[in-house]
């Protein structure tokens, strides 16, 4: 999997999540309002992304009704790994800082996927964008995994 930066200006940034064969979703991020719009083949959603916390900041993902559905926290002072919780399911992520920059998502110490992130040399410059992309990726995986489990049950 790979996030591609499609277009970028001061009002919005558009990303696509792709595999080698197909486009999985399109994400439009509006930094001024803190909203993201996700379009997949069968679903269109709007989310709110923001920071919460005083000493330990969390990047929080809320649905279109303002209900918290997930958050991302760093482990200690390390920004390259941490915990993600989506719909009360815990995941872990590790940023592999070699070029190209990649994010690995784990659940129960089992690697679910590795996704290439858009190339920027330093994480600290666009930390909030990387966190937003990792949260959106984890949301997509959680939704896809749940629908696959329900389909085979």
Q: What is the model's pLDDT at position 124? A: 47
pLDDT-derived band at 120, boundaries 50, 70, 90 = low
Cβ atoms of 59 and 135 within 8 Å: the answer is yes
SS3 50: strand
Segment 12-42, tens digit of pLDDT: 999 999 999 999 999 999 988 999 999 988 8
Write phi, then psi, for 80 (nearest 5 degrees).
Answer: -90, -5
pLDDT at 125 over 90: no
Average pLDDT estimate for 53-61: 84
pLDDT-derived band at 153, boundaries 50, 70, 90 = very low
Cβ atoms of 7 and 13 within 8 Å: the answer is yes
Segment 64-110, tens digit of pLDDT: 999 999 999 987 767 788 999 999 999 999 988 777 889 999 999 89
Q: What DSSP string describes 52-110?
A: E-SSS-EEEEE-TTS-EEEEEEESTT-SSEEEEEETTEEEEEEEE-SSSPEEEEEETTE
Please calculate the CA angle 114-116-120 and round it to the nearest 5 degrees: 140
């Amino acid at each position: 999997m790979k996030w591609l930066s499609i277009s970028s200006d001061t009002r919005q940034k558009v990303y696509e999540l792709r595999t080698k064969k197909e486009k999985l979703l399109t994400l439009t991020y509006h930094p001024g309002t803190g909203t993201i719009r996700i379009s997949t083949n069968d679903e269109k959603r709007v989310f709110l992304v923001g920071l919460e916390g005083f000493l330990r900041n969390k990047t929080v993902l809320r649905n279109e009704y303002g209900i918290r559905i997930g958050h991302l926290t760093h482990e200690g002072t390390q920004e390259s790994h941490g915990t993600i919780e989506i719909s009360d399911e815990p995941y872990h992520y590790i940023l592999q800082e070699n070029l190209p920059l990649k994010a690995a998502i784990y659940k129960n110490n089992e690697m679910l996927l590795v996704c290439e992130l858009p190339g920027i040399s330093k994480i600290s410059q666009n930390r909030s964008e990387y966190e937003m992309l990792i949260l959106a990726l984890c949301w997509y995986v959680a939704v896809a995994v749940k629908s696959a489990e329900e389909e085979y049950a």
